[in-house]
Amino acid sequence: MGRYTKFIGGALGWALGGPIGGILGYAFASMMSDDSLSMESGPQPGARPRGGGPRQRQTSAGDFAASMIVLSAAVMKADGRILKSELDYVKRFFVSNFGDAQADRYILTLREVLKQDVDARAVCRQIQGMMEHSKRLLLLQYMYGIAQADGNVDPSEVEVIRQIANWMGISAKDSKSIEASFYTDVASHYAVLEIPETATDSEVKKAFRRMAVKFHPDKVRDMGADYQKQARVRFDRITDAYEAIKKQRGIK
């Protein structure tokens, strides 16, 4: 068996079916011999998820990583060029969260996916039907990180990410909140908490409590410490926005 067999058969669940499975299957076929593509432990890439239509199932860490790899390609190709800074960001993210060996496998897979035309809408519809909302929000946070990797968020990348958010069933308010967390101006602090600058002090406090519950790292606890760490980044940005507003207003 090839060195990717464990990643294909053991770590993935619903991502082995549908468009994500088809994209990954093509990528894996480019990296492994035919004999090593045997996947007796799961459905073949490109197959429909069992049960006929999309239904939300438990998202494994492998399902999330597969979605992340495929959507990374869509965002990186959005402005018509693939930058080294973006690849470096993705590699740093993978190394930090999964270790060197797993990061190498993910990057090699990403390089193969980048050679394909990714139907982002079909991929997002699969994710919407199968992935829990809290994990889709974490996926969106990661994609904004890619767009910002070169220090210049290209409008075409932002447009693609916003469209991806919509296709994944993420509200415009949630999408704007995550996008705003990558900026540091006063207006962005309010956008992070999903409130207008005219909100009362009481509304600011209520918004923080609501957002803290929505984005609490415990919501992705089932995927392990690596993903909880990324959820903590989002949680900390919400806290930072709240503290900045408190300081501006003199709220105790």
The pLDDT score that the predictor gives to residue 8 is 46
The CATH classification number of 173-252 equals 1.10.287.110
Helix or strand holding residue 52 (H, E): none
Of 78, 245, 86, which Cα lies nearest the Cα of 160? 78
The pLDDT score that the predictor gives to residue 152 is 67
Q: What is the pLDDT along the chain (252 residues), one digit of tens a residue?
A: 345 445 544 467 888 889 999 998 888 887 764 444 333 333 333 334 433 344 446 788 788 889 999 999 988 888 788 888 888 888 888 887 778 888 888 898 899 999 998 899 999 999 999 999 989 998 998 888 887 776 666 788 888 899 999 999 999 999 999 888 877 778 889 999 999 999 999 999 999 999 988 888 888 887 767 677 778 888 888 999 999 999 998 888
| 21-61 pLDDT, tens digit each | 999 888 888 776 444 433 333 333 333 443 334 444 678 87
Other C-beta atoms lying within 10 Å of the C-beta of residue 132: 17
The pLDDT score that the predictor gives to residue 54 is 44
Contact 12, 63 (CB under 8 A): yes
**37 CA to centre of own chain:** 26
Going from N- to C-terminal start, the domains of the chain cover: 1-170, 173-252
The pLDDT score that the predictor gives to residue 32 is 67
The pLDDT score that the predictor gives to residue 7 is 52
